[in-house]
Amino acid sequence: MDPKLLEILVCPLCKGPLVHQKAELICKADRLAFPIRDGIPVMLAEEARRLAETEEIA
């Protein structure tokens, strides 16, 4: 993931910062994981995965 792109991307729901972790962008505030497919972040709420309470965020 390009660091410059990560600087400008925000969570589409809360507008908070995102953390790049594996093949996903994580919103800590909403506990959502947005997928990255073929190098392109999919920033749609309906495509996001809700993080389990036990999942750790880097």
Pairing status of strand 32-37 against strand 40-41: antiparallel
Q: Where are the domains of the chain?
A: 3-50
pLDDT score for 50: 97
Give me the residues of the chain with pLDDT under 50, please.
none
Entry pTM:
0.91
pLDDT score for 57: 83
Say if CB 35 and CB 47 are below 8 A apart: yes
DSSP readout, 12-51? Answer: TTT----EEETTEEEETTTTEEEEEETTEE---GGG-EEP
Q: How far apart are the first and last CA of the chain?
A: 16
Number of CB atoms found within 10 A of residue 29's CB = 13
* Arch. (CATH architecture) of 3-50: Single Sheet (2.20)
